[in-house]
Amino acid sequence: MKQQDSAYREAVVALVPQLRAFARFLARDAARADDLVQDAVVRALERQDAWTEGTDLRAWTFRLLRNLFLDQQRRRRVEQRGLAAMPTPRTNEPVQTGRDALRDLESAIAALPPAQREALILVAALELDVASAAMITGVPEGTVKARVSRARATLARVFGAQR
């Protein structure tokens, strides 16, 4: 039993970099993403008994993280309205090759509808299969495929129009 607990903990810890990447795309804030990952890992460790051995642990922990994010979103509606009214501080960042292209891609992805953005990140950036992404988001596989396809088409139009 203890060896099984240890293997479970090691598997959860091994997922932290992937969880962090997903959380950064969801939250779009590094500190908030780190908090989400920490909460998801704590929840996964506390609820080890809720996980069914033999199922995809990665999809299960991603779903925990996603549910935590959605819960926070519901609670932060008032806070977000207040922050949206504040002006964004301007900073002089160093100019680096490719920085503008990366910023353009980040902006284009951020402009996608949340469901499309989430599906695209899960399937394209995090390289999850469609079945796992469907399990995480709680929608049918066909819906995930359609969202990814629409997101890719939108990005292709945005970047095709710029050239």
Give the fold, CATH level 3, of 99-163: Arc Repressor Mutant, subunit A (1.10.10)
Most distant CA atoms of the chain, gap in Å: 59
> What is the pLDDT averaged over residues 77-82?
74
Structure tokens at 23: 């959380």
The residues spanned by each domain of the chain are 1-87, 99-163
Note the pLDDT tens digit of each residue in 10-62.
999 999 999 999 999 998 889 999 999 999 999 999 999 888 888 899 999 99
Note the pLDDT tens digit of each residue in 99-142.
788 888 888 999 999 999 999 999 998 999 999 999 999 999 99
CATH 3.30.70.20 for the 1-87 domain, yes or no: no
pTM of the model: 0.64
